Structure 1
């Protein structure tokens, strides 16, 4: 999938979520690119965070556009879709702790806390497309800690490169 097509999908998802009043945040490689303001590498998929109570409504709106469900992780934890052109999208679902901090909404890690500043990122932009992104500091923490939190997911070379780019872009 080429970057232009993926940017079009991001724009469509953001427009759909904004129209429905359902906030979401880019995460992963595209979040880094939107924070840095440029495409740094090819991306296999598009990753978002979405509040768990909003997921069914958002997916209903995306289904109207021809997106279809793609079975994956436990649906209380993450919802995956495939666009009509074959782009893979994931929506990791956010819960909330009693003190208002973001948590994993469901699945085997339900209730585990995400970094407290997860949703404090800026509005990122690549070209004419803009979208809220997760906090770069939180993105770095997630990329550094994922191999510890989930030992079956070792750090990939692209993760080390992304961490370096994010650190450089924070200054």
Structure 2
């Protein structure tokens, strides 16, 4: 494992977390780093950092990230991408309906689990951050192929097994 890369990514994640906390923007980890935070240890190298925030914070997060030296990549309805020190950071945005349902912006028919956006913080290397509920992480992997049109990668299949083990250990 490239510990220099891992440490660089954790440093950037800590920076993003501090930026968002200082402005009261709620964020949640998703993807590979979410799994590592749930486990409390780094399990593998990661190619990016995947995050979720609320749609009402999008414009302000974009400004804050650019002000902190992150390069903003072309924006789509679905997400905003940034890059810093050759590391990709991806934000998707969710909205809460009047009924309290969590919906991924741009996917009006994809309703998330009501407890997807837990306030519980997980710790890793001195960083404390919220993580998407494991049930939501698993569902995201299950709909990956349908949503992207691409086959599941071996790392996605392995992640699904790990997430299921996390879910099973909590029951």
- TM-score relative to the length of structure 1: 0.89
State the aligned residue count: 165
Q: State the structure with bigger RCO (CA 8 A, min sep 6), 1 or 2.
A: 1
Where do 5+ consecutive residues of structure 2 fail to align?
none
CA deviations on 1:44-92 (whole Å, 9 max, x unpaired) are 00000011110111121111111111125x2x32111111x12110110
1:95 maps to which residue?
95
- TM-score relative to the length of structure 2: 0.89
Where do 5+ consecutive residues of structure 1 fail to align?
none
Aligned positions of 1:29-44 closer than 5 A: 29-44=32-47
Aligned positions of 1:33-72 closer than 5 A: 33-71=36-74
Report the Cα offset of residue 110 of structure 1.
3.8
1:78 maps to which residue?
79
Report the Cα offset of residue 122 of structure 1.
3.1
SS at match of 2:132: coil
CA deviations on 1:132-159 (whole Å, 9 max, x unpaired) are 0000121112112222x32612211111
In structure 2, distance between residues paired with 1:139 and 1:121: 15
Q: CA RMSD in A?
A: 1.7
In structure 1, distance between residues paired with 2:139 and 2:118: 14
Aligned positions of 1:1-12 closer than 5 A: 2-12=5-15
In structure 1, distance between residues paired with 2:102 and 2:67: 29
1:117 maps to which residue?
115
Distance 1:97 1:120, change over 3 A: same
In structure 2, distance between residues paired with 1:104 and 1:141: 13
Report the Cα offset of residue 166 of structure 1.
1.9
1:20 maps to which residue?
23
In structure 2, distance between residues paired with 1:151 and 1:60: 28
